[in-house]
Amino acid sequence: MSDLLLLLPEIYLALTLVLIIASEVAYHGEPVRLTGAMALMGLSGAFIQTLLTFRAAPAQLLGQALSVDGLSLFFKLFATLLGALTIISARDTREMPRSSRPEFCALIVGASLAMCVASSATDVLLAFLSLQFLNLLSVLLAGFSKSSVRSTEAAVKHLAFSAVSGFLFLFAVAILFASTSTVNILEMHRLLTANPLPREGALVVFMLLLMSLGFQMSAFPMSLSAPDVIEGAPTPVSGFLSIAPRVAGFAVAIRFLLVLFAQPALSPGQWEVLGNLDWPRIAGLMAGMTMLFGSLLALRQTGAKRLVAYLAVAESGFLLMGLLVLDQVGVGALLFNCMVQLFALIGAFTVLSYIQDELRSDRLADLKGLHHRAVPESIALILFLSCLIGLPPLPGFIGKFALVGAAIRHHWYFLAGFAILSIALATFGLARLAYSLVGDLRDFRLAGPVAALQPRRIFLAALFVPLVLVGIFAEPLLAWAVQSLRFILW
Amino acid sequence: MDYVPILILMALGLLLGGTVLIVSTLLGPKLPNKRKNQPFECGVPPVGDTRQRFSVRFYLVAILFLLFDVEAIFFFPFAVTFRKFLEINSFIIWEMGFFVGILLVGYWYVLKKGALEWE
């Protein structure tokens, strides 16, 4: 019974999901249905409940299948906040019909639930199920706009890649189960410390797991579909999809890679590689390629959504760099960057959703001169993206500094060099977008101002508040993120 | 080693079936005729093109069948072992009731949304 008390956030989310579906069906066709409000209440209830659970952590629940500790509570807060912000930002969109808003809210709440469970899973099967749950809901969300061919294409691509990723994950799990006869990763850690896998076996398992989680995290070879999915989906959903699968992937990756392939090192707060496979090098290769892939290809894009999608994929490379340095400061920087990205990407995609609704297109050529016609939105877009990339006065810079600093401290000079190069390239990508927004200054034929919605503007302004707060309180937040990593319960 | 008879049975089955088909193709008479080549429609002469659009209801019903059939499959292990679990306590009945309850919510949603309407 006390297990269930610790699971209250998930229970709240599940009940909200059922209530939304029930309300949609029972009150189908009513003019006023408070589905969005109900979803927001459920999500904020789960958020508050997660805050209350901090006192009781760490604990292992349900026969050690779920672990409620600082890491999972961080990601639960993240998931509920992400769900709430997505539902608010999707309020006035024209890409998704109003009549299917209850289903949209239900899918978002379900995806938040999946993220919450994925971040607490210490059982390989539960991790697999929750990741596939999230992927399926992402497929449905990506294909939500039935009249758009790109939306359907995005959904099919996401489905195909997530099926492959699930298969690879299960294969890795099967080999691990065959070697250790247990499905709990903490038990596996104990058994693998005693007799580690032979190098080739460990390499196979690691590559399978890394490729599978690589799809989830949008890391290089498996990130090829991510920009298409993010671009094709309806824009508020793009905001959600550019964060949720990636962060869930990182939640599972932090737990799995650090428990299965690493052990605490002699110096406090650091890990060292378990067994005789030097996996950080492989992960470093992937991280470097992801950063370059994202930022180089962002330079060639002619559509704003796709450009932001590639920048988001490049972000994953940075986050992966924070994970592979095997230092709790690096992983804490990863968590800090997740926080910054949450507000930056949701803000950027809210502005893009506004642009898509008003101008009916997100091509850079069509954005010419938007800066003069919709001043607050353009400035907000540029600020959010600069924060994402990591330009100095904004909180994103603190996050990037912490990540690159962690890499340099552990002698990953090449990777840090790639990171800095990719920040520079991403800045050029942002400059292209800003250039389109400003338009050709010699062209004096300015069209009239574009209509704007007050609630959306208020929401954008409100998103800046947590962003600035995250920047001001960066030190305590980084310390809290590092603190929440004391989850290794062996 | 215990399973070799199954292998032999499979091989013989393939051999026999294959032989009958191949021999009848090689040795049988081939006298095609316009009426013999028409698609079989239970004796009624076929009308129109076979490639017509058909309604999405069929797909919906098939997918819903698939989902509830998977639920039925989950019933089988439960049905086989639940007597043993009942000797401990009645938790397993509540557990299965919860599972069925979740699927009933889904079924009610499908019903009310009209996915099972045939017209």
* Sequential DSSP letters for A199-267: HHHHHHHHHHHHHHHHHHHT-GGGGTTHHHHHHHS-HHHHHHHTTHHHHHHHHHHHHHHHHHSEEE-SS
Assigned token pair, A113: 């639930």
Candidate from B105, B108, B112 with C-beta closest to A28: B112
The predicted pLDDT at position A445 comes to 61
> How many helical (H) and strand (E) elements, i.e. helices and strands, does chain A have?
21, 4
Mean pLDDT of the region B111-119? 83
The burial class, CB within 10 Å (0-12 / 13-18 / 19+), for B82 is middle
Chain A residue nearest residue B101, CA to CA:
A18
Token pair 């699927």 is at which residue?
B103
Q: Does B39 fall in a domain?
A: no
Q: Which amino acid is it at A372?
A: H
pLDDT band at A444 (very low <50, low <70, confident <90, very high): low
Q: Whole-number mean pLDDT of chain A?
A: 89
Q: How much of chain B, in percent, has pLDDT values that exceed 70?
A: 99
Distance CA A410, CA A327 (A): 8
> Which residue did the predictor score with more confidence, A208 or A370?
A208
- What is the identity of the amino acid at A245? P
Beta strand A271-273 with A59-61 is unpaired
Estimate the share of chain A in helix, then strand, then coil, as percent rounded to the nearest 5: 75, 5, 20
Q: Smallest CA–CA separation between B57 and chain A, in Å?
A: 17
Q: Determine the residue among B105, B107, B110, B111 to mutate to test chain A binding: the one whose Cβ has the most chain A Cβ atoms within 10 Å.
A: B105
Are the C-beta atoms of A466 and A347 separated by less than 8 Å? no
Cα distance from B52 to chain A (closest Cα, Å)? Answer: 23
Residues of B in contact with A30 (CB under 8 A): none
Residue B70 structural domain:
56-119
CB A455 within 8 A of CB A447: no
Count CB atoms within 10 A of the CB of residue A292. 18
B109·A18 Cβ contact <8 A: no
Closest chain B residue to A22 measured between Cα atoms? B109
Amino acid A326: pLDDT? 87
Nearest CA distance, B86 vs chain A (angstrom):
20
CA distance A384 to A391: 10
Return the number of CB contacts < 8 Å for A and B: 12
Q: Is residue B23 part of a domain?
A: no
Q: Considering only A88-102, A193-207, A215-229, A436-450, which range has the smallest mean pLDDT?
A: A436-450
Mean pLDDT of all residues in A409-434: 93
A14-33 residues touching B, CB cutoff 8 A: 18, 21-22, 24-26, 28
Task: State whether B105 and A26 contact (CB < 8 Å).
Answer: no
Please list, in sequence order, all residues whose beta carbon lies within 8 angstroms of the beta carbon of residue A64, skipping any fewer than 6 positions away. Answer: A122, A123, A184, A186, A187
Q: For residue B48, is it left (φ>0), alpha (ψ between -120 and 50) or beta? A: left
For residue A205, count other CB atoms closer than 10 A to its CB: 21
Q: Express each pLDDT in A267-287 by its tens digit.
A: 777 888 887 888 999 999 999
In-domain check, residue B18: no
CA B13 from chain center: how many Å? 23
DSSP A444: -
Contact A115, A79 (CB under 8 A): yes
Say if the Cβ atoms of A21 and B112 lie within 8 Å. Answer: no
- Chain B residue with CA closest to A27: the answer is B112
Residues in chain A: 490
**Between residues A194 and B118, the one the model is more confident about:** A194
Is residue B6 included in any domain, yes or no?
no
The residue in chain B having the minimum alpha-carbon distance to the alpha carbon of residue A29 is: B113
Which pLDDT value is given to residue A490? 38
Supply the pLDDT for residue A54.
Answer: 81
Q: Return the minimum-mean-pLDDT range out of A94-108, A255-269, A396-410.
A: A255-269
Chain B residues near residue A25 by CB distance under 8 angstroms: 108-109, 112-113
pLDDT at res. B93:
92
B111 part of a folded domain: yes
If you average pLDDT over residues A261-271, what whole number do you get? 80
Share of chain A above pLDDT 70, in %: 96
* A 26-65 → B contacts, CB under 8 A: 26, 28
Please give the tally of structural domains in chain B.
1
* Pair of tokens at residue A457: 């503007």
Per-residue pLDDT tens over the stretch A175-222: 999 999 998 988 898 898 888 888 888 999 999 999 999 999 999 889
Residue A46 has φ and ψ, to the nearest 5°, of -65, -40
pLDDT in tens, A131-184: 999 999 999 999 999 888 999 999 999 999 999 999 999 999 999 999 999 989
**What local confidence, expressed as pLDDT, does residue A130 receive?**
96
d(CA A461, CA A459): 5
Closest CA relative to residue A150, chosen from A300, A312, A305? A305
Q: Residues A429, A295: contact at Cβ < 8 Å?
A: yes
Asked whether residue B72 is assigned to any structural domain, the reply reads yes
Cβ <8 Å between A26 and B113: no
* Residue whose pair of structure tokens reads 């999809």 in the numeric block: A241
On whether the CB atoms of residues A243 and A345 are closer than 8 A, the answer is yes
- The mean pLDDT value for A324-345 works out to 91
| A-proximal residues of B, 26-55, CB under 8 Å | none
- Residue B5: helix, strand or coil by DSSP? helix
Q: Do A24 and B108 touch (CB under 8 A)?
A: no
- Interface touch B113/A21, C-beta < 8 Å: no
Q: Is B104 contained in some domain?
A: yes
- Asked if the C-beta of B98 comes within 8 angstroms of chain A's C-beta atoms, the answer is no
Q: Does A21 sit within 8 Å of B109, measured CB to CB?
A: yes
Residues 6+ apart with CB under 8 A from A236: A86, A89, A90, A93, A95, A96, A349, A350, A353
| Structural domain contains residue B5 | no
- Residues of chain A in contact with residue B108, where contact means CB-CB under 8 angstroms, are 25
Q: Band of the pLDDT at A478, cuts 50, 70, 90? A: confident
| Distance of alpha carbon A382 from alpha carbon A380, whole angstroms | 6
Q: Which residues contact A309 (CB under 8 A, 6 or more apart)?
A: A226, A227, A230, A231, A238, A242
Q: Nearest CA of chain A to the CA of B109: how many Å? A: 6
Nearest-Cα residue of chain A relative to residue B106: A21
